[in-house]
């Protein structure tokens, strides 16, 4: 995520800030900037990087988990999840 440090959410947008963060991280996963198995920075580091509150990042990570893009392993961190095959 080091190459996108200049990106920041638009507070004037009608889209919630945490959703803007979700869209940005999801795009990084889609484009391969965050490959499968990559560990996301700690919540506090992400909050500093994006210039938002830690609770905003927690909500964004929860949404990314709900979308199946990342998995959180207690004590270890949050990682980009392998793509799941479509349900048959």
Give a yes or no: residue 24 inside a domain.
yes
Domain count for the chain: 1
Give residue 69's pLDDT: 97
Instruction: Tell me how long the chain is.
Output: 88
Give a yes or no: residue 85 inside a domain.
no
The pTM of this model reads 0.86
Give a yes or no: residue 59 inside a domain.
yes
pLDDT, tens only, 31-75: 999 999 999 999 999 999 999 999 999 999 999 999 999 999 999
Burial of residue 33 (number of CB atoms within 10 Å: 0-12, 13-18, 19+)? middle
Compute CA 15 distance to the chain's CA centroid, rounded to the nearest angstrom. 16
- What is the domain-level CATH number for residue 22? 1.10.10.10
Domain hosting 48: range is 2-80
């Amino acid at each position: 995520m080091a190459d996108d440090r200049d990106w920041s959410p638009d507070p004037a947008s009608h889209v919630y800030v945490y959703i803007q963060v979700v869209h940005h991280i999801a795009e990084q996963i889609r484009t391969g900037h965050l490959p499968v198995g990559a560990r996301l920075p700690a919540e506090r580091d992400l909050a500093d990087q994006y210039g938002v509150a830690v609770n905003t990042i927690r909500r964004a990570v929860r949404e990314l988990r709900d979308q199946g893009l990342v998995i959180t392993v207690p004590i270890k961190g949050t990682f980009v999840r392998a793509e799941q095959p479509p349900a048959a």
